[in-house]
Each structure stands twice: as C-alpha cells, then as structure tokens.
Structure 1
Amino acid sequence: MSDFDDATAADWLNGHAFATSNQACATHVRLALHAGGIDIPAVPARRDAKNYGSLLIEQGFVELSPAEQILPARGDVAVIQPYAGGNPAGHVTMYTGQQWVSDFRQTDMWSGPGYRTHKPPFKVYRWRGAQP
C-alpha cells in the first residue's frame, strides 16, 4: 500500500480538467490518484465510476460517515451511483481543496442537473493509509 499525496493528485486533476464533461470521470480520477501515489488498475469489469468504492478501500481509503462528509477535505473521493435515465456507469469525483473535479471542474459534488435532481446514493471516501 502506498502513501497518498493528495496535493499532487489535486494538482493533476486541476491541470487536466476540461471545461465540460467528456464522460471520462473514472479515467481522470484514476490518473489523479496514480499521480498522488495510489494505483487503481484499469480493470474493465470494475472501471465504471459506480464501482470505485471497493477499489478505494483496497488502497487504504475509508468510507466517511454522513457527519464527516459535511466538510470535504482535499483528496476526498465521492462515488455516486447511477440514476434512472442517467449514465449507467455512475460518477466519481475528487475534492481538490477548493471544488469537486472529475474530468471537469464541477459546481458541486453532483456534477450536473440529473444528479442534482435525482440525488442517487453516494459514498465519500478519505485516504487513511494502512490501518493497524
């Protein structure tokens, strides 16, 4: 298990963000995590954004409680499930310390009007490293 440099991951995301979504949230978050020292394999069966929770846990991230989610910290990753009529892959995004960014700079964690309206289930993860 590696150390996670959340500042480097956030810098990578900010430096590679598009103006609008290119439907590449999982790829961008995976590459940002890699830049920060976390290797999430690009395994086809698990690469959909909605499946990132277990991948993050395998690397030392933990799921935050609802109370902990109120104040996101740089490096937090939100994994959002799909909603009816939306992208079946779901969405994944990282908090850079200033805003949520996936493959684009978002106005909030939800990433768009469909997610904002439907508010599908989501979980937020924070890196804690190796647990004793």
Structure 2
Amino acid sequence: MPWNVNTAVAHLNSHAMPASTSNCAKFVRKAIAAGGVTVVNTNSAKDYGIRLTNAGFVAVQGAPRAGDVAVIQPIPGHPDGHMTMYNGTQWVSDYKQPAVHGYYPSPAYRQQKPPVTFYRKS
C-alpha cells in the first residue's frame, strides 16, 4: 500500500489524547502504519531515526509539511526522547502539542533544545 499522508494525519489527529500519556512514539508509529508504511517498533522515541530511514523516510530541513516526523533526543528526566508528527498546522504525538510551542513538547525541552532530526516519506 503506498504512503497516504492524509490518512496518517487523520489517524494521528483522531487518536490524540487531551494531554501527554508518555506514549508519543507509539501514537506516531501507529499513524504512520495507518498511512500505509510499517515502521519497526523500538522502545525509545530517540531511536526511531534509523527505523524511519529503513521505512523510506529521509532526513529533511526547512519548513515542515504534513506527515513530517521529528525525532528528538533525550534530556535529563526524559531518557527516551520524543517523537512527533506535523499535521499541517501543529505537531501531534500522543496529544496535540500547542502550536505556539512547536515540536518541543515541554518547557524543559524548549529550554535545553536537544538535537532534533526531521524525516519525510520520500
């Protein structure tokens, strides 16, 4: 089944919780699967870069597009990092992150600004 970014984003939006459940990677991975691409599971969001690459995503820079995935490295207190997908308006993981805050999910991430890599299905 070819990649359908609209289906992936619709799945992500419809399954987002009111607040974080600490399951960001699971929600994003399931949205990608709903869009037609299987990404092999791993325990930590920070480790999804190679898995996304193996599934046909490529690292990109510039303005985000719907379906782009951000993989954010860990910070103290958050050893698994974070993973989120852009829905065309805002970043969504297991919850809809406030658009004003961008892809970093919390004040600690926004203050420390750990490395982030953006991926897009090629």
- TM-score, normalization by structure 1: 0.86
Compute the RMSD of aligned alpha carbons.
1.0
Deviation at 1:93, TM superposition (A): 0.1
The answer on 1:60 being equivalent to 2:56 is yes
Q: Which runs of 4+ in 1 moved over 6 A?
A: none
Deviation at 1:3, TM superposition (A): 2.3
Q: Give, as a single letter, the amino acid of the residue that structure 1 aligns with 2:13.
A: N
The answer on 1:109 being equivalent to 2:100 is no
The CA deviation string for residues 25-57 of structure 1, in whole angstroms up to 9 with x for no partner, is: 010001000000111123xxx331001100000
The CA deviation string for residues 63-107 of structure 1, in whole angstroms up to 9 with x for no partner, is: 113xx2xx10000000000012x3101000000111100000002
SS at match of 1:31: helix
Identical amino acids, percent of aligned pairs = 45
SS at match of 1:51: helix
SS at match of 2:25: helix
SS at match of 2:120: strand
| Larger radius of gyration between Structure 1 and Structure 2 | 1
> How many residues get paired?
119
Unaligned runs of at least 5 residues, structure 1? none
- TM-score, normalization by structure 2: 0.93
